[in-house]
Structure 1
Amino acid sequence: MGTRRVEGERVGSEQCPQCGAAMPVHGAHVVWCSACDWNVAPELFVFGLGRTAERRAEVAGQRAEQVFQELLRNGDFGRRSRWTAARIAAYGLSCGVVGASVALAGAAVALLVTGWWNPLSLSLGIALLVFSAVLRPWVPPLHPELPALDRESAPRLFALIDAVAKEVGTRGVDVVTLEPGFNAYVTSRRPRQRILCIGLTLWETLTPHQRVALLGHELGHFTNGDTRHGLVVGNALCTLATWRHWLDPGRWHGGRLRYWFGHGVLRWPWYAADGLLRLLNRLSLRDATRAEFLADQLAARTASSEAAYGLAERLLHADRAVEALDGLLEDGALDWRRKPWREAARAALDLPDHERERLVRVSQLQWHYEDDTHPPTHLRLALAQRCLYDEARVECGKQQAEAIEREFARAVSAAASRGKLRMRRVKHSTR
């Protein structure tokens, strides 16, 4: 066995027992053969995926594979999502959610006005008014403890965002929030207010070109008409989730009256909210896979295929970064001053090339994907390779990247002055 040293790690080589090719040995990483895939995924052979996870991955993979082949066959990459029956139904159901809240408030006002002299009507009207206030269409507010940047506080960042937005055919965002996790997403809070959230751990793992690809992907959701990121369907999903949370009978315990109210009065409304949320999820998911592929294509066109491939490949290392960041929390709180996302990012990047290649191949066997709204990662990688965009249309030079880092640092310092951030387990996704 010969040995050599790569980046401070002792590396050896072994002979593949199946085909005889040389296999690199990198410390505690899996030893596998890139020539014949021997031992490429030992965890699958030992544990398997599990029947539920296996079926879930299979269904998601089949749906994504069909969309992928359709887009390749028709050359539809870069076009807006189509108006299908499911898309129309999703918008109709979302408008119905808003209409239900308005109808509830109208019924409450009618009872209060016409039956103010009747104790029963008065009581019912007050109860409906309270319910209409709690179950109103819900737009999540910006987290007050998270750093937020606007055009005045981060001109270089917004200049880059505007350049990317112009390239993908949309307008920029109004506010950028920073989170510690391995994630990024866009949303609409009002008809003319767009929010971009950037996870600092993910941002730290990316090169400047890959960061441009990330912005191209996220802004691409506005370009391609992704319903789940829009004001109507996106906020309807959030509203139904809020309804399901507050109507949950399990929240009402601690006494006979509370139990009767929760299980006797709220039980069926909770079933209705849960059923509507599941239905809207299913309707909007039919279009979500296509929207993700279109957003990936726009990312490749904006920042080059190589940058888009690197961005998608980072998703395979998300679990390492999330586990590292969770381990750096202090009693469930994040100290902004310590900048733990930088150490978590190093944990995701500290992998030899041979292990990175193995994770790409394992993603094909597992049908790895971030969540139900995202296509399998290996198909996203295949798309980036097929796009053939050799040059970036939007550049992020060294000086601009350093200026953006200083803008981030000022926002983080302001958040650090307000104390630690209480957190749940860190999530990761690029929606």
Structure 2
Amino acid sequence: MRTTTGPSAQQQSVEPCPECGADVPVDERFVRWCAACDWNVDPHPPEPPKGRIEETRRALARRHGERLLAEMTDAGEPPRPRRDPSALLAYGLALAVHGLTVAVLVAGVWLTVAGPAPGGKVVGVLLLLIAWSLRPRRRKLPEDAHLLHRPDAPELYALVDQVAATVGTRSVDVIAVDADVNASVTTYGIRGRRLLTLGLPLWESLTPQERIALLGHELGHYSHGDVRQGRVLTSAYRSLSLWAYYTAPTADPTLVEMAVNLFYLVPRTLVHGLTLLLDHLTLRATQRAEYLADAAAARTASTEAAVGLMDRLLVGSAAHTVLRREVNRAATRTTAHRSGPRRAAEERPERLWEAVAAHVASIPESEYARRRRAGAIRGHAVDATHPPTHLRRAALLAGPASPAAVTADAARTHRLDAELAPLRTAVAQGVIRDVVR
């Protein structure tokens, strides 16, 4: 083994590949692999398909993904949001699920009012209770996230407003900040207000322009009509999950419970089948929406920034790992210093995000390349709502490069950081507190 030094302070080692003898860069933090022969490129591959049905499903998923990628990278007309027959059929199926809820409600009312006493009325009340549980619910603001309103963060809202105008949609009403390595958009309330959730570990690991790409991607879901964002489908999924709960078999059943489990076998199988069918029907539209949202990110922040965002998402698990490590360290220090409150108070909990950002920034290109290669070998997951990240990256690079329509200079970035500074501390304290407890 020989040692070389790169531009970073950390030493880089090189050793021969045990398969082909090519030079293999060594970084003790990451998997060793050979780019020449793919040795150890995926040390924990997924389990092979179990049976011909699973093998066929994976083959169909791969062909579907390849066709969708070809469609999204076609040099002709740029891709646009549309409703394909599968999405329309999914809406029809969702309406049928809601129709079942209405039928349960009507039957409950009829049995309660005109049913034979006492058995009919008891069944009627039971059906009314089931219908009540299946009623459409308005989403509420998350209770476990820190909320930012416009007066709290005018610079952040101004940036989100600018990005929303660029992708062709209205802006959000509330921004939430939490400790997930993720970001998302959703609606809440009767009037369908919009919520943007930003996970600090992801946000802090991005460059200023990649953050704009992230906003462009998330707001792009609104402008492109992602089918799974709609109330009809989300409430149908919730109804099916409740039916699955009601018909779930009892563990360690008695003789009577075994009879009940057997009675529920048909409806339980039907609910499971309807859920799988709804997933299958919406899968193509949902994956297409991801490509369209990526294109919105490129138009907003530049293709370069959108590609950088894809790379950061590719190593999201690394951010998870370093976050857990730093949280455990901070929790250990907090516990050890409980007898010394002054020293504990001097700890900087927000250093969690600095550690995550520093770790992600230090990831070598070879690790990005390994993950992209491993993703290509694994192919398409059967039920993944997102296309493989390496294909999303390839789709961005397939077309002409887009310049940035929205930018953040040093002064703007400083103002954004200042607005989020209190939440950086509060979220980190909450994470450490949960671990200590």
TM-score band, normalised by shorter chain? 0.7 to 0.9
2:63 counterpart of 1:51: no
List gaps (5 residues or longer) in structure 2: 335-347
* Corresponding position of 2:304: 306
Give distance in 2, aligned partners of 1:369 and 1:254.
35
Shift of 1:206: 0.9
2:183 counterpart of 1:184: yes
Give distance in 1, aligned partners of 2:432 and 2:23.
50
Shift of 1:18: 8.7
Shift of 1:227: 0.2
Give distance in 1, aligned partners of 2:409 and 2:260.
58
* Corresponding position of 1:429: none
Give distance in 1, aligned partners of 2:206 and 2:426.
24
* Corresponding position of 2:287: 289
Give distance in 1, aligned partners of 2:422 and 2:30.
38
* Corresponding position of 2:66: 65
* Structure 1 contact 4–10 (Cα < 8 Å) conserved: yes
- The 1:364/1:404 distance shift into structure 2, 3 A limit, reads same
- Residue by residue over 1:54-78, the C-alpha shift from the partner in whole angstroms, topping out at 9 and shown as x without a partner, is 9566543332211111233363445
User: What is the TM-score normalised by the length of structure 1?
Assistant: 0.82
- The 1:313/1:60 distance shift into structure 2, 3 A limit, reads farther
- The 1:173/1:256 distance shift into structure 2, 3 A limit, reads farther
Structure 1, 408-417 or 64-73: larger mean CA deviation: 408-417
Q: How does 1:148-227 map to 2 (within 5 A)?
A: 148-189=147-188, 190=190, 192-227=192-227
* Corresponding position of 1:99: 99
* Structure 1 contact 170–219 (Cα < 8 Å) conserved: yes
Q: How does 1:324-339 map to 2 (within 5 A)?
A: 324-327=322-325, 338-339=349-350
- The 1:349/1:370 distance shift into structure 2, 3 A limit, reads farther
Shift of 1:94: 1.6
List gaps (5 residues or longer) in structure 1: 424-431
* Corresponding position of 2:276: 278
**Secondary structure of the equivalent of 2:73?**
helix
Task: Give the counterpart letter for 1:385 in structure 2.
Answer: L
Give distance in 2, aligned partners of 1:406 and 1:142.
24
Task: Give the counterpart letter for 1:135 in structure 2.
Answer: L
Give distance in 1, aligned partners of 2:122 and 2:145.
41
Give distance in 2, aligned partners of 1:239 and 1:144.
23
Shift of 1:402: 3.0
Give distance in 2, aligned partners of 1:69 and 1:226.
20
- The 1:15/1:326 distance shift into structure 2, 3 A limit, reads closer
Percent identity, aligned pairs only?
35
Residue-pair matches, total = 414
- The 1:283/1:161 distance shift into structure 2, 3 A limit, reads same
2:362 counterpart of 1:350: yes
User: What is the TM-score normalised by the length of structure 2?
Assistant: 0.81
Task: Give the counterpart letter for 1:63 in structure 2.
Answer: H
* Corresponding position of 2:406: 394
- The 1:309/1:20 distance shift into structure 2, 3 A limit, reads same
Task: Give the counterpart letter for 1:7 in structure 2.
Answer: S
Q: CA RMSD in A?
A: 3.6
**Secondary structure of the equivalent of 2:74?**
helix
Task: Give the counterpart letter for 1:98 in structure 2.
Answer: H
Shift of 1:5: 4.7
